[in-house]
Amino acid sequence: MKFFVAIVGSLLLLAVAAFCGFGFLATFEPTGNVAQFMAFRIGYTVIGLGCLVGVGFLIVNTVRK
């Protein structure tokens, strides 16, 4: 059961990380206010990397047990 939960959790976290990746790339479109989109870039980066770290923890915990 824990293996199934790890797979589902990893897939959900990877989906959020992919969304953050596309959102990060979308903030590079030309606009008049570059400083406003810097906050979005930082937010997408923090959330995306957090999800990838979470996937890593799920995989490590599943393999250890």
Q: What is the pLDDT of residue 42?
A: 93
Rounded Cα–Cα distance for residues 62 and 65 (Å): 6
Q: What is the pLDDT of residue 57?
A: 94
At 3-35, the pLDDT tens digits run: 898 899 999 999 999 999 999 998 888 777 777
Query: Are 45 and 24 contacting, i.e. CB atoms less than 8 angstroms apart?
Result: yes
At 41-56, the pLDDT tens digits run: 999 999 999 999 999 9
Q: How much is the pTM?
A: 0.86
Q: What is the pLDDT of residue 29?
A: 82
Q: What is the pLDDT of residue 32?
A: 76
